[in-house]
Amino acid sequence: MNSIRRKHRGANLVPAVAAIALAAVAAGAGYWFGLRQPPAATAAPSGTIAAAPGPAAAGPGPAPGRVLYWHDPMVPGQKFDKPGKSPFMDMDLVPVYADAGADEGQVSISPRLVQNFGIRTAEVREGTLDTGFSAVGTVGIDERAIVAVQARSPGYVEKLHVRAQYDSVAAGEPLVDLYVPDWLAAEEELLALKASAQPGAAALADAARQRLVLLGVPDAEIARVERERRPSARITLTAPQAGIVWEIGARDGMAVMPGTTLFKLAAIGTVWVTADVPEAQAARVRAGMPVEARAAAYPERAFKGSVGALLPEVNAATRSVRARIVLANPGGALTPGMFATVAFGGAAGKPGVVVPAEAVIRTGKRSVVIVDAGGGKFQPVDVEVGRESGDVAEIHRGLAVGQRVVVSGQFLVDSEANLKGALTRIAASGDALAQGADPHAGHAQPKAPALPVHKAEGVVRAVGADVLIKHGAIPTAGMGAMTMAFKAPKAGVPKDVKEGSSVRFEFVLTPQGEMELTSIVPVAAGEKR
């Protein structure tokens, strides 16, 4: 009976062993087949930015269009006209389809970095750009309304009636009493000739009167001498106009010579405002155009005026042109030194595409905006910028109403994704293709050139799959001071590198646009950096 059971058990064991062997063979075949396939695309680590995947990397969906070319995703600038092994990596070339062009030049940003960078977007809208604008200026004296009071003969200051700068004076108000000895002799000569009965005395008297005029004796004083027949060497000079004492050059007992400026009086019925007009708005300012100004001292009061002149001078630091504004100043409310905001009017413009002015990145050769393509993808777009008014810029070409553009953090996006390098590679590959470059160029190269290593120092803000580091400017990488996530080193983050640690680190910019740490070590307190 036992032998029968053993035989029965042995009969059942044979199929089980056979099944296990078949499973092992199938698993081995699957493993071998997997090794023969090109490596699947892996998700970019959290906190990094990589080239946006094309349709080929998407899940199951419609069949792709025709193949444009094949390339190695790690070296996207090199294109090939047939499939095969990559000369740069141990992997097959990946096809790029005709319907994948929309994703070229895009970059993907993890939601965590979007939040850390404070990236904000705004909608591209249709609007009318206000052609009017405002500029800030400083109130000053109308220099055309300044008059000088001077001595015309040698003399002495006997008494000052106005003693301080910026004192207000009325027209005809006494300013200074002068003693002029030369006047006394000339006046006595005039009186003697007028009293003489000698032939020709009348002609000589006219010559004496003319001499008094040349000596600076006022007409009223000459008339008094002739009327009262009493000479006087003292004269009181009065204000020729109302205003304020802009300059004073006389003091009691002071000797004066011909041409000495005793006072300068400035009328304040009108004032000048020198406003700094942005260079971009200078062409819209013309002499004679009406303006309206307001001062902080009188916020509810508007002062009317006009543009006197656009001065031929540009401030190199602020890129602004100075405009001279002439304002009526009833009651002398505006005083020199006050700040005023000048509003320049303008005609209504035509409707067009407008975006916040801060969304535009000017590189010197072109203007770029970062467009939010959705799904964490961003793409740089060349635009043609028109006029600006306040914080709004007009776009003539490159954007459509309804798109969203990055208005805050776009420079961090540009730096983190190394957009300049990506765009350069795209442009270079496009130029090479247009010029009929050999698509097989570089096939014989065994490996890609070594990546440059960048060195910097900073403070660790967070440690995880990525290391968030606040660092200063890194000139070799073209990066400014910022807080940025770096891919952890392949060997891992050292245990003594923690949040708050001061570190010295090295990194490379990979072809995928990632910033990968190659070394990171803590800096001991007091260690010389």
- Helix (H/G/I), strand (E/B), else coil: 460: strand
State the Cα–Cα distance between residues 221 and 198, nearest whole angstrom.
Answer: 26
State the Cα–Cα distance between residues 508 and 448, nearest whole angstrom.
Answer: 14
- Helix (H/G/I), strand (E/B), else coil: 343: strand
In this prediction, residue 33 carries a pLDDT of 37
Q: Read off the tokens for 77.
A: 């600038």
Among 490, 444, 440, which residue's Cα sits nearest to residue 467? 490
State the Cα–Cα distance between residues 172 and 313, nearest whole angstrom.
Answer: 39
In this prediction, residue 273 carries a pLDDT of 94
Count of alpha carbons within 13 angstroms of residue 115, beta-carbon side: 5
State the Cα–Cα distance between residues 42 and 24, nearest whole angstrom.
Answer: 28
Q: What SS3 string covers 190-209?
A: HHHHHHCCCCCHHHHHHHHH
Which residue has tokens 């004296």? Answer: 141
Q: At what angle do helices 181-195 and 201-214 cross, to 10 degrees?
A: 160
Instruction: Give Dmax (Cα) for the chain.
Output: 185
In this prediction, residue 266 carries a pLDDT of 93
* CATH class given for the domain over 143-266: mainly beta
Cβ neighbors of 168 (< 8 A, separation 6 or more) are 242, 243, 244, 332
Q: What are the pLDDT digits (tens) for 492-515? A: 888 889 898 899 999 988 877 678
pLDDT, averaged per 10 consecutive residues of the chain (529 residues), comes to: 42 41 39 38 36 38 61 69 80 69 60 75 85 86 92 90 92 92 86 85 88 84 88 88 92 91 93 90 87 90 92 88 93 90 77 89 83 83 83 88 86 54 46 46 53 89 88 83 86 88 89 83 71
Among 132, 49, 150, 53, which residue's Cα sits nearest to residue 100? 53
In this prediction, residue 264 carries a pLDDT of 95
The DSSP call for residue 344 is: E
Q: Read off the tokens for 92.
A: 């097959």
Measured between alpha carbons, how far apart are the two ends of the chain, in Å?
Answer: 88
143-266 matches 453-522 in fold: yes
b/e sequence 27-52, b meaning 16+ C-beta within 10 Å: eeeeeeeeeeeeeeeeebbebbbbbb
Domain boundaries, the chain: 1-37, 42-115+419-434, 143-266, 453-522
Q: How far is CA 248 from CA 149, 174, 223, 263, 271, in A?
A: 10, 14, 29, 5, 20
CATH entry, 453-522, from 1.10.645.10, 3.65.10.10, 2.40.30.170, 2.40.50.320: 2.40.50.320
DSSP string computed for 11-34: HHHHHHHHHHHHHHHHHHHHHHHH
Chain centroid offset of residue 187 CA: 70
In this prediction, residue 375 carries a pLDDT of 79
Count of alpha carbons within 13 angstroms of residue 271, beta-carbon side: 27
Q: How far is CA 138 from CA 100, 123, 339, 345, in A?
A: 58, 37, 5, 19
